[in-house]
Structure 1
Amino acid sequence: MAIEVFNRYEKKYLVRAEIYEDVQRVLSKYMELDEYNKKHPYYTICNIYYDTMNNELIRKSISKPKYKEKLRLRGYGIPSLEDKVYLEIKKKVNGLVNKRRTRLVLKEAYNYLFTSIMPEYKEYMNKQVLNEIDYFLKLYNLVPRIYIAYDRRAFFGIDNRDLRITFDTNIRTRRTDLRLELGDHGEKLLDDNVYLMEIKAEKTIPVWVSKMLSEFKIYRTSFSKYGTEYKKTIVQKVSEGERVECLKQFYIPQLYHQRYTFATPQLQI
């Protein structure tokens, strides 16, 4: 079974294309590729982030509080309604990231997120995580706000499996078609010559990692995919005096009515 609970520190860096291959060569001495990356250069991760109608969660997040939290629906590749995906709750307290997730069938996840009625427990679910997510859904009135996809190349430490370093490229976002099965299209968030590198570790990073960062002059950043898109798309447009009418096209009943018939209390798919 895939790991469903994570406690670790995550540090982010923007890596230029001209040093990307050099960094990869250093990593290959101490780390090994993710099993999928041994056959494919990248794998695609697709997410839908949920927030309140007034963007409460992301607005709080970009203010850099000591505690923040978010909820997202994650798939690997483009899932069908019958495929299993992950519903994740992610918290960050004083720099320590706690991620908890449970598997759900995609149509099952949509039903749950729309009705807030917990699905009937099945063996592939994490019951404790479901209870935590249920509390989260009762605490906030959430709707799907943004779709974010990217292509990832991941490394694991050979001697320390808790150490993980990932590279995300072709980060794309959209604020329409907020469903995982509708494809991974979207607008580019970063230039093609920049990679987002994340170092994930339960404790301190090894000395060789620090030396590598120093050698290639790679500096830590507070880059957030959702936060960057929000500031670029919403905050910037508002500050420029542009009227942003995003809420109507994101509103959840419209997304469901376009394709499905409702029944009470469960959505019939």
Structure 2
Amino acid sequence: MAGVQCSFERVEKKFVLTHAQAEALMRDLTAGYMAVDQYGQHTIRNLYYDTDDYALISRSIQRPKYKVKFRLRAYGTPIEDTLIFAELKKKYSGVVYKRRIAVSPDDMRRFLRGETLDGENPQIQRELHRYLSEHPIRPKVFLAYERVALYGLEDPELRVTLDTHLRYRTTRLDCFTDDAGELICPDDPVILEVKLANAAPLWLARLLSRHKIYMSSFSKYGTCYLNHLARRKPDIRPMAHKRNNEGEIEHAS
């Protein structure tokens, strides 16, 4: 769809914050460095696809060099003309590559049935269809959260997001019912993501250091799997969080 970015290549850095840290950081970020985007705080709904035994996320949490996820995503309150995104997100050696289409709910249903849609990038449609045809995946987990997104005043390519109230469910697996769910983490942290096309500015590194905010390998779907879904499989136990040699807190990837 015109006006929607369909391909990304960038580095994403993640951090786990307390609500007090997030509030203090927001004050500093918006004091001349960044601005909240036009959407303000909004709900993001995700529908993650996986095999029946969660093979994709089981592999992802082992921290391989290459990993991939397929999901549907909707932004804001669902209405009839809300865009639904079908996204193939790949990560290789720390770089994130995303390919997606954005269409109406009716067109998304057609696309998921294998139809090729007019007006959408045909190459990306082929890539998504090929992945779906080659992997026995289906909707497995609904995951929602509240997001505030900011962009850099000097470099609009610099994006920062703060996500709160992470919740999930394994029933009502679509993006258009209510967004209710069980909390993924009982302490309800704030997940900060810094999305970079270029090197991180020095002022951002200084702000993170000032507020004692340290990089983490946190993954929403991965943490949901470890905290809740893996318990249903007797051969997998939840992963303990620990610090690596660089002092980073390791969560699910």
Computing the radius of gyration from Cα coordinates, the structure with the larger value is 1
Structure-1 residue corresponding to 2:6: 4
Q: Cα offset for 1:138? A: 1.7
User: Would you say the 8 A contact 2:166–2:188 is kept in 1?
Assistant: no
Residue of structure 2 in register with 1:118 after alignment: 115
**Higher helix proportion, which one?**
1
The code of the aligned residue for 1:231 comes to L
Match of 2:251 in 1: none
Instruction: Indicate the SS of the match to 1:178.
Output: coil
Shift of 1:80: 4.5
Does the C-alpha gap of structure 1 residues 236 and 181 become closer, same or farther in structure 2, counting only changes over 3 Å?
same
Paired residues of 2:165 and 2:188 also in contact (CA < 8 A): no
**Of residues 169, 174, 178 in structure 1, which corresponds to 2:173?**
178
1:30 corresponds to? 33
Provide the rounded CA distance (Å) in 2 between the counterparts of 1:51 and 1:95: 22
The CA RMSD over aligned residues, in Å, is: 2.0
- Per-residue deviation, 1:240: 9.6
Name structure 1 gaps, 5 residues minimum.
Answer: 242-269
What TM-score comes out, normalization by structure 1 length?
0.81
Shift of 1:82: 5.4
Relative to structure 1, is the Cα distance of residues 111 and 2 closer, same or farther in structure 2, using a 3 angstrom cutoff? Answer: closer
1:103 maps to amino acid: A
Question: Structure 2 counterpart of 1:118, which letter?
Answer: E
- 1:50 and 1:70 in contact (8 A); partners too: yes
Equivalent residue in structure 1 for 2:145, among 138, 145, 150: 150
TM-score w.r.t. length of structure 2: 0.86
CA apart distance, 1:193:
5.5
- Deviations 1:175-229 (Å, cap 9, x if unpaired)? 0010111111111123466210000001221111111111111111111111011
SS of the residue corresponding to residue 86 of structure 1 reads strand
Structure 2: distance between partners of 1:83 and 1:165: 23
**Structure 2 portions without partners, runs of 5+:** 237-253
> How far is 1:141 from its partner?
1.2
> Deviations 1:106-136 (Å, cap 9, x if unpaired)?
23323433x3x223x222x222211110111
Equivalent in the alignment of 1:102: 101
The one-character-per-residue Cα deviations of 1:15-64 (angstroms, maximum 9, x if unpaired) are 11122222012111211111121xxxx11110101111221211111110
Q: Distance in 2 between matches of 1:21 and 1:67?
A: 34
Deviations 1:134-189 (A, max 9, x none): 11112201110100111100110011111100000111100001011111111112
Q: Secondary structure at the match of 2:111?
A: helix
8 A Cα contact 1:46 1:78, kept in partner: no
Percent sequence identity is: 36
User: Which residue type is aligned with residue 49 of structure 1?
Assistant: Y
TM-fit CA distance, 1:91? 0.3
